[in-house]
Amino acid sequence: MALSDLLRPALLAAARSPRMERTVTKIPVTRNLVDRFVAGETEDQAVAATTSILDSGRYISIDHLGEDTTDLAQANNTVSHYLTLLSALSRFTQDGEKNKTTFPPSPVRNVEVSLKLSALGQFLPRDGHKVALENAHKICTAAEEAGAWVTVDAEDHTTTDSTLSIVRELRQDFPSLGTVLQAYLKRTEADCKDLSGPGSRIRLCKGEYKEPASVAHQEKTAVDGAYLRCLRILMNGQGYPMVASHDPAMVGAALAQAKATGRTTDEFELQMLYGIRDAEQLRLVGEQQHLRVYLPYGEQWYGYFMRRLAERPANLAFFLRSLVSTN
């Protein structure tokens, strides 16, 4: 077993540890590496990063970082950040008026925001479902006014039923609402079949949380196999697949599946994370592929940062070299 395979569970556990958060965030060199993956802490910084990405021909999906909110004021504060962000983003959207009520869109919307429902109050002790639904509805309304898309992010498996229930409710008013499905969960093939109907937008990723073997595939080969099966379902479905992967094998499979099913470049897209495989992102855009960059920002960057370290050994190696070089 590779060292990275041994370290990944520990890093994912650390992503949810307040004690580790206090330790890691105090290390001066951490900020330098965080800047590779997180576009600052303010809306102005996120908009500045958005400008350069859109200018390069890529699309954008912006996430205001935060999750596991148990305070109503904090959930409302997250909504305020999204409303401020969407107001600033409206100047970037393509054909905003034409795009607001039609699906599928023509052209594809170049600007999107991503939401974590747990940051909007999903697990508040009272009325969490209702609060998250109402808060997400406010953001979706503002996004429609701005001519932007919205996609609801996936979190750990304990949130999946609640999240998909809220997504279904929101889609009654916002049929273009996207959602994320994680291939490593054993339920996801069934969810792909259920949710890939006309007008749907599904972002398929491998999964980034520490999950038990009872609900999630553990080995890379099993996760890859599940991803390919889910990808096939989505490409043969009636929606708009969003292929979120940096794995060349998965990207290649997506392009092959799109060709085999007769999809044009306007009928699916590739997605990659801000700060990862930038040259490859630009190469794919040069080949006329739609590619969207997932761009996170905000003060609550720790959990996201640790999951990026767990995701790729090169990220962790860079971080450790940086620590050594400062001592």
Residue 16 CA, distance from chain mean position: 18
Please say whether the beta carbons of 66 and 300 come within 8 A. yes
Q: Report, in this order, helix, strand and coil percent for the chain, each rounded to 5.
A: 55, 15, 35
Of 8, 58, 153, 292, which one is the catalytic site residue?
153
List the one residue out of 65, 71, 106, 100 whose CA is nearest residue 85: 65
List the one residue out of 68, 58, 57 whose CA is nearest residue 15: 68
Query: Is 308 labeled as catalytic in the residue annotation?
Result: no
Tell the burial category of 243 from Cβ atoms under 10 Å away from its Cβ (0-12, 13-18, 19+).
Answer: buried
Of 109, 203, 292, 308, which one is the catalytic site residue?
203
Tokens encoding 216: 């999630």
DSSP three-state, residue 240: strand
Task: Tell me: cis bond preceding 18? Omega within 30 of 0 counts.
Answer: no
Query: Is 19 labeled as catalytic in the residue annotation?
Result: no
Question: In 219-238, which positions are buried (b, 16+ CB within 10 angstroms) versus exposed (e)?
Answer: eeeebbebbbebbbbbbebe
68 CB-near residues (< 8 Å, 6+ apart): 118, 119, 123
Would you give the DSSP letter of residue 158? G
d(CA 280, CA 184): 24
For residue 258, give the H/E element and its range: helix 248-260
Kindly write down the DSSP assignment for every residue of 84-119, as one continuous string: HHHHHHTTT-SSHHHHSS-SS-SS--SEEEEE-GGG
Q: Which amino acids are annotated catalytic?
A: 153, 203
